[in-house]
Amino acid sequence: MKMEHVDGKNEGKVVLFALSTCGWCSKTKELLKELGIAFDFVYVDLLPTEEMDDAIGLIEKWNPAGSFPTLIVDDRKAVIGFREEEIRGAFSK
């Protein structure tokens, strides 16, 4: 599954599963950019059909509802939805 990379500070593997039409997904992406964190993202609705199920399967491991945005931080926690404080908190050390 091809992901797009955004450069920034290395905070481990940060992956954002998003939809190209979803308002809260754009807000999440903008927040990550504002925080200057390196991350990969994928618009699941724009994937080839055969790859959509792989993506949904990955999301459902962390978020059984399979909802968007799902942000997976360094394979240790997931933030579901645009929860600004939680996202900021995940990267403040």
Partner 1 sequence: MNAGDISQDDVERKYQVLDREAGEGGYHLGPDNEFTKKLVRGLLINEGRYGYPACPCRFSRGIKAEDLDIICPCDYRDPDLDQYGACYCALYVSDAILSNKQSLSPVPERRPPRCERNSRKTIHTTQTGSLSYPVWRCRVCGYLCARDEAPLVCPVCKAKKDRFERFM
Output phi, psi for 8, to 5 deg: 165, -165
Q: Is 83 in the site for partner 1 (CB under 8 A)?
A: yes
Q: How many residues bind partner 1 (CB under 8 A)?
A: 22
In the numeric block, the tokens 């599963």 are attached to 17
CB of 24 to partner 1, least distance (A): 6
CB of 87 to partner 1, least distance (A): 11
Q: Is 91 in the site for partner 1 (CB under 8 A)?
A: no
Q: Which residues, including other chains, have CB under 8 Å from residue 20's CB and lie 6 or more apart?
A: 43, 45, 46
Q: Which of 36, 54, 65, 74 binds partner 1 (CB under 8 A)?
A: 65
In the numeric block, the tokens 């481990």 are attached to 12
CA distances from 78 to 48, 49, 58 (A): 24, 24, 11
Q: Is 43 in the site for partner 1 (CB under 8 A)?
A: no
Residues near partner 1, by CB under 8 A: 19-26, 44-45, 49, 52, 56, 60, 64-68, 81-83
